[in-house]
Structure 1
Amino acid sequence: MKYRMAVLLGAICYGILSTIVTKAYGKGFTLGEVVGSQLATGCLLAWALVLAMAVVRRKRSKRGETRPAADQTAPRTSWKQAVLLMAAGMPTGLTGLLYYESLRYIPNSLAILLLFQFTWMGVLIDAVSRKRRPNAALLLTLAVLFGGTLLAAGILDRGLDAFRGLGVLFGFLSAVSYTAFILISGKAVPAIHPARRSAWMITGAMLFVFILFPPAFLIDGTLLGGLLPFGFMLGLFGAFLPPLLYAIGVPHIGEGLTGILGAAELPVAVLLSSVVLHERVSELQWAGVVLVLLGVALPELFRRMSRGAPRSTGVSS
C-alpha cells in the first residue's frame, strides 16, 4: 500500500502544476522565469538529497554497517554517465516549456488533457518499434482515449473556434516531448541510484532551459520580488517530489498499476481548474475525464483478464 500511495502522491503533485503556473502568469512572470525557477529549485533540492544520502552512507561506513539492498548501486558517477543523464533530462525542460506556453493560449483543463496524450503515445511507439500490429485491445483503448479527450476538452460544448490553434499545438507537442522523456529516461544509466539519476537529469533540463532563457531573474531582483514562492512550489511539486516518489513506488507495483494510479493527475488538474481558477467545467467534460481514466486503465484490465482466462489448445495467442 505504501508504494501505491507514493505513486498516487506523485501523480497528484503533477496535477497541481498547471494551476500554479497560471497563477504565476497572472502575476506577470514570463515563461523563462517560471520554468527556470522551477528547475533551479528542483535541482537544488535533488542535489541536497544526494548530499544527505552521501553523509548517511559515510556514517554507516564508519560504523561498519552494511549498505541496505535498496542502496546497492554505484555511489559515484563518471562524467560520461553524467552527460548521458543530463541529455536524457533535457526533454523534461522542453516539456515544461511547451506545456506552460500552451497555458498562455488555452484553458488549463484543455492543456492538461493534451499533455495527457502521452498515455497512448508511448504504447503506440512501443508497438511500432517492436513491429507489432495494434490488437483490438489497443485500438479500443485509443478510441476511448480519443473520445474522452474530445469530451473533456469541451470541444462539443464550445466548438473549435473557442480554442487557439497555437495553444493546442504547444499542448500536443508537450505530450510528444514527455513521451520521449519516459522512453529515454528509463534506459539511461539504470545502474546509478535513482536519487542521483534524478539529480543529473534535472541538471540537464535546467541547463537546457537556461541556454534558451538566460536566468536573469537570479540577479535582477525578480526572484525575491515575488517569483520565489512560485518557483519553490513548482520545483518541489514538479521537479523534485514526483520523480522521487515514482522511483520509490514503481519498482514495487509495476508499470501497469503505475499508469492507472498516475491517471490521478488528470482529475486533480481539472478539479483545481474549476475550484481555484474558476474555469467552467461542464458535465460533458467530467464525463470525458472519466472516459480518459477508463482508457488509461483498460490495458491493465485487459492484461489481468488475459492472465485469468483459460488457455485453449490449438489457438495461437
Structure 2
Amino acid sequence: MTKSIFMVFAGACSYGILSTFVKLAYHEGYSIAEIAFLQAFLGMAILYLLRLFSKKNKTIATTTPTKSVWLALTLAGAALGMTSFVYYLSVQYIPASIAIVALMQFTWIGILLDWVFFRKTPTVLQLLSIALILTGTIMASGMLSGQTTGLSVKGIVYALASAFLYGIYIVVSSKIKTDVPMLTKSSVMMMGSAVLLFTINARELLTQSHFDTGLIKWVILLALFGTVIPPLLFSNGIPNIGAGYSAILMSAELPVAVICSQLILKEHIDFYQWLGILLILFSIIWMNRKKLQLQPS
C-alpha cells in the first residue's frame, strides 16, 4: 500500500516539474513546436520499445485494439497532445505558477462537460467544491495583491484552454472501456499526440528547427517526466489504492509546480497565493471525500 501511494505521488510530482523544464528550454531559445512534438515522439518511441520487450504485455495474449478502440485512443491522445501544446504555449506569456493554477480548473471543467453532454448532474458537494476552487484560483492568481496587472491576456486564455482540453481528455478517456494493456494503450495515445503535433507544426519543424544536444536534453527530460514515468507509476499504483486516494495524491502536481517556479525560476509567490493554492488542494480533497469513504480498508 505504501509503495503504491508513493508511486501515485511521484507520478504527480513528475507532472509538476514540466512547466519549469519548458520555461528553461524557452530561455535557451527552443520553440514550442520543437519541444512539444519531440516530447510526444520520443515518449511514443520509448513506450513502444517497453511494449515490445515487456514480458507482462506478451503474456496478455498480445491484445490488439479493435479499429474503434484504436481510433478512440488515438483521438484521446491527440486531445492530450493539444493540452500539453497549449499549456506549454501559455508559459511563454505568463508565469509558470499562474499557468498551473489555470490548468487545475480541469477539475471542475470535467464535471461541467459531464453535465452538458452526458446529463450527469453535479452533486451539491461538487458544486460547493467548484465554488471553493474558483475562490482559491482568484487568490492563487495574485489578483488580491495586484500581481495580475500587466499579465498577458493571451497567456491566460491559453492556460484556460489547456484546462478545457484536459477536461475533454479526461471525460473522453473515462468513456473508453477497454482491456488493452497499459503499454499498448499509452503508446497508441502517444502516437495520436505525436501525429497531431507534427501536423500542426510541420512547416516550422521542417524549416526552422535546430536540433542539437541542448534540445535533446530538454526533450528527454520532458518525455521521461511527462510521457513515460507518470503513466507507468499511475498504472501500477492507482489500482491498488483506488480513485479517492489517487485523486488527492495527484493534486500534488499543483504545489510541486509552484515550488519549482519559485525556487528555480525565481517567480514571486506571496502569502495570499499560497492560501489560494491550499484552498484549491482542500477543495480537491473534499470533492473526493465520498470516494475516499467508499475506499476499502
Q: What's the TM-score, normalizing by structure 1?
A: 0.85
**CA offsets, 1:64-113, max 9 Å, x none?**
xxx4xxxx465334455433321221001110111011101111100001
Greater Cα offset, 280-289 or 75-84? 75-84
1:269 matched to 2:270:
no
**CA offsets, 1:219-253, max 9 Å, x none?**
98822242000001001111111122222222222
Matches of 2:177 and 2:211, distance apart in 1: 34
**Which residue does the alignment assign to 2:84?**
96
> Is residue 73–residue 193 contact of structure 1 (8 Å, CA) maintained in 2?
no
Compared with structure 1, are the counterparts of its residues 76 and 215 closer, same or farther at alpha carbon in structure 2 (3 Å cutoff)?
A: farther
> Is residue 217–residue 223 contact of structure 1 (8 Å, CA) maintained in 2?
no
Helix, strand or coil for the counterpart of 2:119?
Answer: coil
- Of 250, 255, 263 in structure 1, the residue corresponding to residue 238 of structure 2 is 250
> Is residue 244–residue 292 contact of structure 2 (8 Å, CA) maintained in 1?
no
**Which residue does the alignment assign to 2:229?**
241
Matches of 1:268 and 1:203, distance apart in 2: 28
**CA offsets, 1:178-208, max 9 Å, x none?**
1111112233351210110000000100000
Matches of 2:214 and 2:125, distance apart in 1: 49
Q: What's the TM-score, normalizing by structure 2?
A: 0.91
1:302 deviates by 4.7
1:116 deviates by 0.8
Helix, strand or coil for the counterpart of 2:179?
Answer: coil
- Which has the higher Rg, Structure 1 or Structure 2? 1
- Runs of 5+ unmatched residues, structure 1: 59-66, 308-317
Compared with structure 1, are the counterparts of its residues 282 and 159 closer, same or farther at alpha carbon in structure 2 (3 Å cutoff)?
A: closer
1:233 alignment partner AA: L
- Of 296, 299, 305 in structure 1, the residue corresponding to residue 284 of structure 2 is 296
Matches of 2:16 and 2:113, distance apart in 1: 24
Matches of 2:88 and 2:167, distance apart in 1: 16
**Which residue does the alignment assign to 1:21?**
22
Identity, % of aligned positions: 32
1:42 alignment partner AA: G
Compared with structure 1, are the counterparts of its residues 304 and 15 closer, same or farther at alpha carbon in structure 2 (3 Å cutoff)?
A: closer
Aligned residues: 294
* Cα RMSD (Å): 2.3
**Which residue does the alignment assign to 1:310?**
none
Q: Equivalent residues in 2 for 1:1-317 (5 A)?
A: 1-53=2-54, 67=59, 72=60, 74-129=62-117, 131=119, 133-188=121-176, 190-214=178-202, 222-302=210-290
Matches of 1:241 and 1:285, distance apart in 2: 29
Matches of 2:253 and 2:44, distance apart in 1: 22
